[in-house]
Amino acid sequence: MADGTAEPSVSRLPAEADRVSTTRTLGDRIEALPNALRVGVMLFFWLAVWYGVVELFGVSKDFLPNPIDVISRIVRLAWEPVGAGPLLTHAWASIVRLLWGFGAAIVIGVPLGLAMAYFRPLQWIVAPLFELFRYIPPIAWAPFAMFWFGAGSSAQAYVIFTSSFAPILINSFRGVQLVDSRLIDAARTLGAKSWTILFEVALPAALPHVVTGLRIGLATGWMALIAAEIVAGTGSRDGLGYLILQGQQQLHADLTIGAMVLIGILGSLIDLAIRAVEGRFAYWRS
Amino acid sequence: MPNNLSYENVTMRFEGRSGAVQALDRFDFQVKSSEFLVIVGPSGCGKSTLLHLTAGLYKPPTGRILLGGEEVREPGPDKAIVFQNFSLFPWKTVHDNIDFGLRINGVPAADREDQIKRVIRLIGLDGFENHYPRQLSGGMQQRVAIARSFVLKPRTLLMDEPFAALDAQNRQIMQEELVRIWQTQRPTVMFITHSVEEAVFLADRVIVMTRRPGRVKEVIDIANITGDHHWRADPFDEVIRRADFQDVRSRIWGLVKSEISVRN
Amino acid sequence: MNGSARSNALARALFGALSVGSLLFTWWLVTSLELVKPLILPPPSDVWVGFLDIWHGYLNVPFWNHFLASISVMLGGYAMAIAIGVPLGIFMAWNRAVDWVVGPLLQILRPIPPPAWIPLAILWFGIGYAGKIFIVFIAAAVPCILNSYLAIKQTPPELLSSARSLGAKPHTLLFEVAIPSGLPTIMTGLRIALGIAWASIVAAELVVSLAGFGFLIMNGYRNLESNIVFVGMAAVALLGLLMNLVFHRIERAMLPWREDQDNG
């Protein structure tokens, strides 16, 4: 503008509404910084706080190691074996279990959910059973899973299955149920037969919900995986949960925390990947 | 206390997703005290921005807005605003919605009940005091929104397409109701609408705005055309059939249309 | 219309009874014909014995000790998560500086699944109450913080603008507009947290404990008493259901202004 005053940006944030003015405060300047820079600086700050607390109070390494210890432990894990092998062995074991349990949940959950929405009697049959089992936390299945499959990967995969199954089933079911009935009416008036309606209207419209169900199922499955590896892992010597447990049992807090960090990172990567997939399937939604 | 509004070279820009957007460009205008002013213009011409600025919700980077000679600096109960979507607090009853403004402005409890009772009677919602907004029809909700502002005795009432969400029948009723309610206090009204009939029926003067950046394209002095017996004094469905009403309506519509079609 | 709705409900009940009934019948059939070993699936009679066993003090620990052990830890951690998580989430949403400082820390901690904290909690707090309360707290705090944050951020801007133009100052905006408006979202967070907290205490008790339902389940597993495991699971499910029902009641009572509360 001619007189050189800065332009205000009208913020939609609640508390910020009052701040719209022609002068820029320090906060406005920080806000204008790139997000990554702000987050990076703050993460560095928190790591420094962690380091400072450990060093200043002389916290025992068995209790809480400093971040450098943890990072070096993670790096060493790349080649130094714990239990069955180094890091990749454990990460791979966890992912394979996750994929078995998650895969089984997809294979059963998606078709069942879709069919339940399409054939009402099936819904009436399955829904009460589903309600019956719904309040059992997935990890509580671990003992029976071990009775059934032995204390190993299969039992862990079963726990993951029970965890992923519910969100996958529910979202597939809702996906078809929430299809705008006007779309189906429109297709019918255009002369579509029921198979055409199923494959060209109902399923495409339901697909974004199905994929959302898969994302939630993968997230809950990931959580169940770690729980299963800690609870139902007596028979196996691999997996990221096993690393956490080993750290605790051998009083190596750096291993426990390092494994937790790795689990967090891997979990975030998996979530990012499936969100990208989800975005592709929902491209036509606003 | 004079309640006239003066706009002196008001400019407004937003940082949009695709760069800066100029919403208003050197808007210069005088609204008389107790005048009913209606603004029409194409979508996105900055009408709403103008209202938000008048309410003091934002500050214009350049130019000034004065209410009764005093610069508008912050929002307050003397500058009431009514939105299209009613914006009632859904968790408060009709009574508590109206009470909100009185309470936070420190009106003593005894006076409040009295004023609430009176304004609820004014809008014809006796018996609905303890209803939640969701239990009311759109028209009733908008009455409550008007009452919530009106009970604070605002110097100016700013209405941002208040009846756009109502169906045609309710809209007509609300237009007549608004005139009746407004007459009891006669605050200065700034009223935005997309309906040219509504504008011609309600307004003392109509401003037609240009497309963005919004400027005054033309001002039509309705009160001057109708004389002392304003159109709004009669029922809407009678007025709308009159030839002189239709003349003004089509003239204004022509002005608005030219702003829309230039765009396409 | 009404008739077909009623016959639908009837069919639903019939099919439901049929499916649950045939599940129970199959259970009875395969176990009494000894098609599966009791370890794989305990027969109904064994489960009844297991229930009586627990009720009268399995391994000389009274039933109510297990109940109290699980419930006290659960409610303690849950209450802490609400008391810290909700204000923190609200504060982060309301004040950008708090958001900048605390936000990245939460983003780092959030992807770590709650069960992953169990070994660390044992390392830090031992196997007693403190460690388990810590786990429940960690698990339940995340949805409390996130939903409170979202609740405030999603306050409809028109409600804030309306309140400001009615004369509301910042603290009124927070306490009388943003928080009540976001309360449904906050309550949803608390409900999610309730489920996660319950699952977490069971998981923690499975790993290490001297009492509680998780202890019962794990002990049943170690002694190859599948009927004890069965009863433990059923008790966990039943209590989970009961807590959910109680929560639903509280939620409805707190949000009387809402239309339909979803049963998700």
Query: Which pLDDT tens digit goes with each residue over C170-195?
Result: 999 999 999 999 999 999 999 999 99
Tens digits of residue pLDDT in C148-165: 999 999 999 999 999 999
List chain B residues with CB under 8 Å of A28. Answer: none
Q: Which of A121, A141, A245 sits opposite C15 (nearest CB)?
A: A121
Mutate one of C98, C123, C177, C200 to test the A interface: name it (highest A CB count within 10 A).
C123
Q: Which of A151-155, B218-222, C257-261 has the lowest mean pLDDT?
A: C257-261
Question: Is residue B136, in this structure, part of any structural domain at all?
Answer: no
A·C CB contacts under 8 A: 185
A-to-B residue pairs, Cβ atoms closer than 8 angstroms: 26
**CATH classification of A87-281 is 3.90.1150.10, yes or no?**
no
Does residue C171 share a domain with residue C155? yes
Query: Two tokens at B194?
Result: 């997309």
Q: Please list every residue in chain B whose beta carbon sits closer than 8 Å to the beta carbon of residue A22.
A: 59, 61
Structure tokens at A56: 């200043």
**Residue A135: predicted pLDDT:** 92
Residues of chain A with C-beta less than 8 angstroms from the C-beta of B58: 8, 10, 20
Q: What b/e sequence results for A68-93 when a residue is b if at least 16 CB atoms lie within 10 Å of its CB, and e otherwise?
A: ebbeebbeebeeeebbeeebebbbeb
ipTM: 0.90
**Is there a domain that residue C262 lies in?**
no
- Give the up-direction half-sphere exposure of residue C262: CA atoms within 13 A in the CB hemisphere: 6
Mean pLDDT is highest, among A18-22, A178-182, B247-251, C7-11, for B247-251
Into how many domains does chain C fold?
2
Q: Which contacts qualify for C95-101: CB closer than 8 Å, 24 or more apart?
A: C95/A15, C96/A13, C96/A15, C96/A16, C96/A27, C96/A31, C97/A27, C100/A30, C100/A38, C100/A42, C101/A42, C101/A45
A8 touches chain B (CB under 8 A): yes
Distance from CA of B79 to the nearest CA of C (A): 6
Q: β-pairing, B79-82 with B156-160?
A: parallel
Q: Which band of pLDDT confidence, cut at 50, 70 and 90, is reported for residue A286?
A: low
At C74 the pLDDT is: 93
Point out which residues pair with B19 in neighbouring strands: B16
Considering only CB atoms, C119 lies closest to which of A15, A230, A265, namely A230
**Same-domain pairing of C29 and C152:** no
Q: pLDDT value at position A21?
A: 43
Does a structural domain hold residue B115? no
Torsion, Cα of B207, B212, B215, B220 (10° steps)? -20
**Touching chains, C (3+ CB pairs < 8 A):** A, B
Residue closest to C219 by CA, chosen among C65, C89, C54, C86: C54
Inform me whether the pLDDT recorded for B219 exceeds 70: yes
Which pLDDT score is estimated for A214?
Answer: 94
Which domain covers residue B248, as residue numbers?
1-78+194-264
Residues C138 and C52 in one domain: yes
Q: Which one is predicted more confidently, C263 or C205?
A: C205
pLDDT-based confidence at residue C3 (cuts at 50, 70, 90): low
- pLDDT the model gives residue A82: 87
- Output the CA angle A219-A222-A228, nearest 5 degrees: 145
Rounded to whole angstroms, the Cα distance separating A137 from C136 reads: 14
Sheet of B70-71: strand order equals B19-31, B5-16, B62-67, B70-71
Q: Which pair of tokens denotes residue B155? A: 């110097």
Which of A28-32, B92-96, B231-235, C54-58 has the weakest average pLDDT?
A28-32
Q: Is B26 part of a structural domain of the chain?
A: yes
- Nearest Cβ partner of B15 from A3, A7, A21? A7
Return the axis-axis angle of helices B138-150 and B168-185, rounded to nearest 10°: 20
Stated length of chain B? 264
The pLDDT score that the predictor gives to residue C223 is: 92
Q: Are residues C117 and C246 in the same domain?
A: yes
Question: Based on the domain organization, do C10 and C70 belong to the same domain?
Answer: no
B111-130 confidence digits (pLDDT tens):
999 999 999 999 999 999 99
Disruptive mutation site among B9, B10, B14, B25 for chain A (greatest number of A CBs within 10 Å): B14
Residues C114-142: tens digit of each pLDDT: 999 999 998 899 888 899 999 999 999 99
Which residues on A lie below 8 Å from B15 (Cβ)? 7, 9-10
- Give the span between the Cα atoms of B86 and B136, in whole angstroms: 12
Pairwise CB contact (< 8 Å): B61 & A10:
no
- Tell me the per-residue pLDDT of C196-224, one tens digit each, with 9 for 90 and over: 999 999 999 998 888 899 999 999 999 99
Mark which residues 146-165 of A lie under 8 Å from C by CB: 146-148
**Cross-strand pairs, B82:** B159
Query: What would the mean pLDDT of C239-261 be, rounded to a whole number?
Result: 88
Confidence of residue A28 (pLDDT cuts 50, 70, 90): confident
Specify the length of chain A in residues. Answer: 286
What integer best gives the mean pLDDT of chain A? Answer: 85
Closest partner CB to A256 (pick from C23, C119, C230):
C119
* A97-150 tens-digit pLDDT: 999 999 999 999 999 999 998 888 899 999 999 988 989 999 999 999 999 998
How far, in Å, CA of C234 to CA of C50, rounded? 12
Residue A243 or A185, more confident: A243
Separation of CA B202 from chain center: 11
User: Which uninterrupted H or E stretch holds B206?
Assistant: strand B205-209
Are the beta carbons of C158 and B75 separated by less than 8 Å?
A: no
At C62, list the tokens: 């009274």
By Cβ distance, the residue of C112, C170, C238 closest to A18 is C170
Q: Which of residues 133-192 of C touch A (CB under 8 A)?
A: 152-153, 155, 157, 160-161, 164, 170, 173-174, 178
Residue A205's pLDDT band, with cuts at 50, 70 and 90, is confident
Of A97, A75, A112, residue with least CA distance to A158: A97
Confidence of residue A220 (pLDDT cuts 50, 70, 90): very high
CA–CA min distance B59, chain A (Å)? 6
Minimum-distance CB partner of C113 among A141, A142, A226: A226
How near does any CA of chain A get to the CA of B88, in Å?
17
Query: Is residue B201 in some structural domain?
Result: yes
Does residue C261 register a pLDDT over 50? no
What is the share, in percent, of chain A residues with pLDDT greater than 90?
A: 51
Domains of chain B: total: 1
- CA-nearest residue to A21 within chain B is B59
CB contact under 8 A, B58 and A20: yes
Report CB contact under 8 Å: B77, C165: yes
The per-residue pLDDT of chain B, averaged, comes to 89
The verdict on C16 and C132 lying in the same domain is no
Quickly state the pLDDT bin for B261 (edges 50, 70, 90). Answer: low
Q: How confident is the model at residue A177 (pLDDT cuts 50, 70, 90)?
A: confident
Whole-angstrom distance between the N-terminal and C-terminal Cα of chain A? 35
* Secondary element (H or E) of residue A223: helix A203-231
Is there a domain that residue C260 lies in?
Answer: no
pLDDT higher than 90, residue C245: yes
**Residue C168 in contact with partner chain B when CB distance is under 8 A:** yes
Residue closest to C82 by CA, chosen among C1, C178, C190: C190
pLDDT at A13 over 80: no
User: Do C15 and C119 belong together in one domain?
Assistant: no
β-pairing, B19-31 vs B70-71, is: unpaired
Relative orientation angle of helices C44-55 and C226-254, to the nearest 10 degrees: 70
Q: Are A139 and A231 in contact (CB under 8 A)?
A: yes
Which pLDDT score, from 0 to 100, does residue A23 have? 54
| pLDDT tens digits along A41-79 | 999 999 999 999 999 998 888 889 999 999 999 999 889
Residue-number span of the structural domain to which C28 is assigned: 1-35
Q: Work out the pLDDT band at A166, boundaries 50, 70, 90.
A: very high
**Domain-embedded: residue B204:** yes
Q: Is the pLDDT of residue B16 over 90?
A: no
Residues of B in contact with A20 (CB under 8 A): 58-59
The verdict on a CB contact (< 8 Å) between C159 and B87 is yes
Nearest partner of B54 among B199, B209, B190, B215, judged by Cα: B190
- Least confident span in A237-246, B88-97, C229-238: A237-246
C183 and C118, same domain (yes or no): yes
Interface touch A5/B62, C-beta < 8 Å: yes
Question: Do C13 and C112 lie in a common domain?
Answer: no
* Average pLDDT for C94-101: 91
Chain A: touching chains (3 or more CB pairs < 8 Å): B, C
User: Peptide bond preceding B213: is omega within 30 degrees of 0, i.e. cis?
Assistant: yes
Report d(CA B148, CA B81) in Å as an integer. Answer: 10
- Chain C residue with CA closest to B98: the answer is C166
CATH code where residue B251 lies: 3.40.50.300
CB distance C261 to C251 below 8 Å: yes
**Cβ atoms B211, B260 nearer than 8 A:** yes
**Is C259 contained in some domain?**
no
Residue of C nearest to A255 (CA): C120
C137's tokens: 């707290």
Does A273 contact C at CB distance below 8 Å? Answer: no
